[in-house]
Amino acid sequence: MKNTMRAVALAVCAVTFAGCKNVAPDADQGAVIVDADAASRAALQQTVNAALHTDVTLADNALTETSVLIIERKIPQSIEGSPAQGRTMEMPIQFRLVTDGTNCILVDQRDASRHILADTRCVAEE
């Protein structure tokens, strides 16, 4: 009986540890855009505009050097062109580019919504 209990305990431990090894880690990896061209920039622009429900200005090299894209609200200006009185306390909006090994996916950090970028090639960030 004692040997049977020991064998059962060893079997349970073996199954438990084997199960842990088979759990896949989160497949998403931070990524950067490679070989950016007009089509990939347009796809990024369209995706960000749709996520924010407004038109934004993006640099041509957006997401080519880092996986994080930060969008800040334009500071209101007075008639003279100087910044209006007061401070903007709103946090900037952040997006993160990830890859699942196949797709380039733009993740809106506010709500974790995921948007696949068409016509875009990316590689895992180093």
Q: What is the pLDDT of residues 59-86, one digit of tens each?
A: 999 999 999 999 988 777 777 777 666 6
73 contacts 95 by C-beta, under 8 angstroms: no
53 compared with 24, residue with greater pLDDT: 53
How many C-beta atoms lie closer than 10 Å to residue 32's C-beta? 18
Judging by DSSP bridges, how do beta strands 68-71 and 93-99 pair with one another?
A: antiparallel
**24 confidence band (pLDDT: 50, 70, 90):** very low
Residue 7 has pLDDT above 50, yes or no: no
The whole-number pLDDT of residue 75 equals 73
- Domain regions of the chain by residue span: 26-124
